[in-house]
Amino acid sequence: MARILVVNPNSSVACSDGISAALAQFRLPSGPRFDVVTLREGPPAIYDWRDWHSVVEPLCRLIEREPADAYVIACASDPGIEAARGVTRQPVFGVFRSAVAVAVARAERFGVLAIVEASKARHLAALRAMGLESRLAAEVALNVTMDTLLDPDAARSRLIEAARACAAAGAGTVILGCTGMAHHRAVVEDAAGVPVIEPCQAAAAIALSL
């Protein structure tokens, strides 16, 4: 059976559990195995460029020692994706790039919900690399911690407010800009009235298609 290795590059096991739960629908009886692993050397969350760069080498080492048919970097700023692609011949998917691909397939313009203000620069860099920065209608930062996002209720009202702001700015779809937001997807979508894309699910769907 094919193996798709999903790597959470932060050290939060609770975040990894949320990623694994979000992928439950993709674990088909005759389909590839989705294994979610936590990068123990990673920071508690990836808030800024320093955190982003700190996971590149341990991420590459993990990929080198863990055989898989495809790899998914499960952080919505795709840390180390270029380096990771250089250490394996297998496909490596970044969840943010995957979510953007799904977003632009569904609507002309999209919005992004970021965990902190510093996330915006990393997202913009990815969008520029894809040539899609002009399709971004709005990005709203919540400026909360990973622990707050993982709580079932603490950030939910702020997520809904931010998604509605993106929709008001012209976004036809909204991307959850942190994997810690996964368990809020359905509620935010219902409240905002536009499709809400969970990045790990987007990457899983693309990986399955290959």
Digitized pLDDT (tens) for each residue of the chain, 210 residues in all: 899 999 999 999 999 999 999 999 999 998 899 999 999 999 999 999 999 999 999 999 999 999 999 999 999 999 999 999 999 999 999 999 999 999 999 999 999 999 999 999 999 999 999 999 999 999 999 999 998 988 888 899 999 999 999 999 999 999 999 988 999 999 999 999 999 999 999 999 999 988
Q: Is the dihedral of CA 101, 107, 109, 112 positive or negative?
A: negative
Domain ranges of the chain: 3-94+201-209, 96-199
184 Cα distance to chain centroid: 13
Looking at CATH, the fold of the domain delimited by 3-94+201-209 is given as Rossmann fold (3.40.50)
Unique residue bearing structure tokens 């979508």: 189
Segment 44-98, tens digit of pLDDT: 999 999 999 999 999 999 999 999 999 999 999 999 999 999 999 999 999 999 9
Could you tell me which residues are beta bridge partners of residue 174? Answer: 111, 196
Q: Residue 6 has which token pair?
A: 């999903």
User: Could you give the dihedral angle defined by the CA atoms of residues 74, 78, 82 and 85, in that order, rounded to the nearest 10 degrees?
Assistant: 20
Which of 209, 125, 112, 51 shows the shortest CA–CA distance to 201?
209
CB atoms within 10 A of CB 163: 26
Residue 35 in contact with residue 4, Cβ under 8 Å? yes
Residues 149 and 181: beta-carbon distance below 8 Å: yes
Residue 182's beta-bridge partner residues?
Answer: none
The CATH T-level fold of domain 96-199 is Rossmann fold (3.40.50)
Is residue 146 within 8 A of residue 115, CB to CB? The reply is yes
